[in-house]
Structure 1
Amino acid sequence: MRRSLYHAVLWLVALIWFAPVAWIILSAFKTREDILATPPKLLFTPTLQNFRDLFTTNASFVVQFANSVVLSLVSVVIAVAISFLAAYAFSRFKPKGTDFLMFLLLSVRMLPGPAVILPIYLMYAAFGWKDNHVALVLFYAMFSVPFSVWILKGFLDGVSIRYDETGRVNGGSWFHVIFRVVLPQVKPGLIAAFIFNLIFVWNEFLFNFVIGGVQTQNIPYALAVGTYSDGGLNWTFIATMTTIYILPPILAIYAFQKYLLVGMTFGTVRGEV
C-alpha cells in the first residue's frame, strides 16, 4: 500500500510539472478560436493547419531550425572534446594551481550574460565576426568548456590511475591510454556533459540576438520576434513552434536519461573504480 501510494504521488508530481508542456502541445493542434475559448477546451477537433502555416508562411523557419541544430551540435562536440583533454590533464598531472584554475573556470562560467555581452559585442564587431556561423560556434564552445571540465574531471578522478600506468607499462602510447583505455570508462560523463551543454546552447537567446544576425538566427530568436502579429499574441505560432522546438531535447534526454542520472552523481559519492 505504501509503495503504491508513493508511486501515485510521483505520478501526480510528474503530471503537474508536465501539464504546461502538454497544454502547449495540445494548443499546437487547435485553431486560434479554440486556444482563446473560455472556458478552455479539452475536447476539440485537431488540425494540422498550424504546422502547414509555419512551413509555408514562415520561409525562414527551416533555416532557423537548422541553425539551432548546427550551432548546438558542433559547438558542444568541440567543447566536450577540448574539455575531456583539459580534465584529463587536471586529473592526472595535477599542475600547480589546479584548484584555483578550476575555481576560475567555474567563476567565469557563472557570470551573467548581460554582464559580458557589451565587451563581447565590441570584440565581434571590431573583428567583423557578427552574423558568422564559425564565430558563433566558437563562442558557444568557449562558454560550454568550464562546466564540461568540471563534470569530466569528477569522472576522471573516479577512474584509477592504475589503468594509465598499466597501459604505459605495456607499451601503449599516450593516445592509446587516453582514448582507448580511459575514454570508454567515462562515456557517461561525456554524454552528460554533452546533453547539459546542448540544452544550454539550444535555449540560448541573448548572444544570438546581439552578436548573431539574419544568417545565424536560431529558434529562440524566431520566437522572440514572431510572438506578436495582427495586433496581438500569435498563439498558434507560439504553440506550434514551441512544440517542434522542444521535441529534440526531450528525445535526447529520454534516450540518454540513464547517463544523465550517473552524470549528476559520479565523482561526488564514489571513489576510484
Structure 2
Amino acid sequence: MSRLREWLYYAALWLIALIFFAPIAWIVMSSFKTRSDILAMPPKLFFKPTLDNYVDLFNRGEIFLQIANSVVLSIGAVLIAVVVSFLAAFCFSRFRPKGTDFLMFLLLSIRMLPGPAVILPVFLMYVAFGWKDSHLWLMLFYAMFSIPFSVWILKGFLDGVSTRFDETGIVNGGSWFHVIFKVVMPQVRPGLIAAFIFNLIFVWNEYLFNFIIGGVNTQNIPYALSVGTYSDGGVNWTFISTMTSVYIIVPVVFIYIFQKYLLVGMTFGTVRGEV
C-alpha cells in the first residue's frame, strides 16, 4: 500500500511538472515550425522541423546587440546590487542602527511600487541629466530596484551567522574587511547566489524602463520582442517563438545550475544556529 502511495505521489508530481512545462515546450517546438505549421488547425504535434526561423533571427543585425545588452545590463546590475546589499545587510545585522525594522520596511516598500507609477518622474530625471540611453545609468537604475529585496534576503542569512565569528576574527588581529569578506561572506554564499538569481530574473525580464529610459543602444530582448511582434500585417509567430526560445536559455541555465540555492533563498535564511 505504501509503495502504491509513493508511486501515485511521484506520478502526480510528474503530471503537475509536465502541465507547467507544456507551454514552454510548445513555444520551443513552434520555433522549429514553419508559419503554416504554427497556424495549422488542429495543431500539429508531428511536423518536419526547420532551422530557417533561427537563421532569419540571427540574420537580423540588431539581435546580437539586444542579446549582449540583456546579458550586460542583467549581470552588471545584479552584481552591483548584491555587493551593496551584502554590505548594507551586514550593517543592519551586526550593528542594528536605530529604527532598523522601520528602515527595512522602507527598503522593501520600494519594491511595492508598480513600475508605471514612477516611470514619469524617472523619465524626466533621466532626460534632464542626460542619462537616457546609457548602459551605466540604466544598470544603476536596475541595481537600485534590486537592492531592497537582496538586503532582506541577505540580512536573514547574516542573522543566522553567529557574531562569535566576528569577535574571533577581530581578537586575532583581523580587520573588518577580513572579517566581512573572508570569514562571514563564505558562510552566506547560498544567500548571495539566491539573491543573484532572483534579481537576475527580474532584470532579465524587465521591459518598461528599458523601453522608456533606454534607447537604440540599450534595447534588450523584451524590447525586441515588443517591437517585432507584428509584421506583414499580422502576428509574427515564428519570430516570437524563436526569440522566446533564445530568451529563456540564460535563466534556465542559471536556475538549473544553482537550483539548490533557490530553495534555501526562499526561506530567507530563517534556519539559524550558533557556533
Identify whether the pair has TM-score above 0.5, normalized to the shorter chain. Answer: yes
Report percent identity of matched pairs.
76
Q: CA deviation at 1:260?
A: 0.7
CA contact (8 A) 1:131 1:216 kept: yes
1:61 is aligned to 2:63 = yes
The 1-side partners of 2:196 and 2:54 are apart by: 30
One-letter amino acid of the structure 2 residue matched with residue 50 of structure 1: N
Q: CA deviation at 1:213?
A: 0.3
Q: What residue number does 1:169 align with?
A: 171
One-letter amino acid of the structure 1 residue matched with residue 149 of structure 2: F
Q: What residue number does 1:49 align with?
A: 52
| Structure 2 unpaired stretches of 5+ | none
Q: What residue number does 1:228 align with?
A: 230
1:104 is aligned to 2:106 = yes
3-state SS of 1:96 partner: coil
Q: CA deviation at 1:59?
A: 1.3
3-state SS of 2:174 partner: coil
Q: CA deviation at 1:267?
A: 2.5
Which deviations, in whole Å up to 9, do the C-alpha atoms of 1:13-56 show, x marking residues without a partner? 00000000000000000000110011000001111000000011
CA contact (8 A) 1:54 1:240 kept: yes
Within-5 A mapping of 1:93-132:
93-132=95-134
Question: Pairwise CA RMSD of aligned residues?
Answer: 0.8
One-letter amino acid of the structure 2 residue matched with residue 211 of structure 1: I
Q: What residue number does 2:10 align with?
A: 7
After TM superposition, the runs of 4+ consecutive aligned structure 1 residues lying more than 2 A away are: 266-273
Which deviations, in whole Å up to 9, do the C-alpha atoms of 1:38-79 show, x marking residues without a partner? 1000001111000000011x2101100100000000000000
One-letter amino acid of the structure 2 residue matched with residue 136 of structure 1: L
Within-5 A mapping of 1:231-246:
231-246=233-248
Q: TM-score, normalised by structure 1?
A: 0.98
The 2-side partners of 1:117 and 1:141 are apart by: 16
The 1-side partners of 2:109 and 2:199 are apart by: 17
The 1-side partners of 2:29 and 2:274 are apart by: 47
Q: What residue number does 1:155 align with?
A: 157
Q: What residue number does 2:256 align with?
A: 254
CA contact (8 A) 1:28 1:236 kept: yes
Q: CA deviation at 1:270?
A: 3.7
Q: CA deviation at 1:268?
A: 2.5
Match of 2:23 among 17, 20, 25: 20
Within-5 A mapping of 1:180-199:
180-199=182-201
3-state SS of 1:190 partner: helix
CA contact (8 A) 1:159 1:185 kept: yes
The 2-side partners of 1:213 and 1:197 are apart by: 22
1:29 is aligned to 2:32 = yes
Q: TM-score, normalised by structure 2?
A: 0.97
The 2-side partners of 1:183 and 1:193 are apart by: 13
3-state SS of 2:33 partner: coil
**Residues matched between the structures, number:** 272
The 1-side partners of 2:269 and 2:255 are apart by: 21
CA contact (8 A) 1:157 1:272 kept: no
Q: CA deviation at 1:115?
A: 0.6
Q: What residue number does 2:220 align with?
A: 218
Q: CA deviation at 1:272?
A: 4.3
Q: CA deviation at 1:217?
A: 0.2
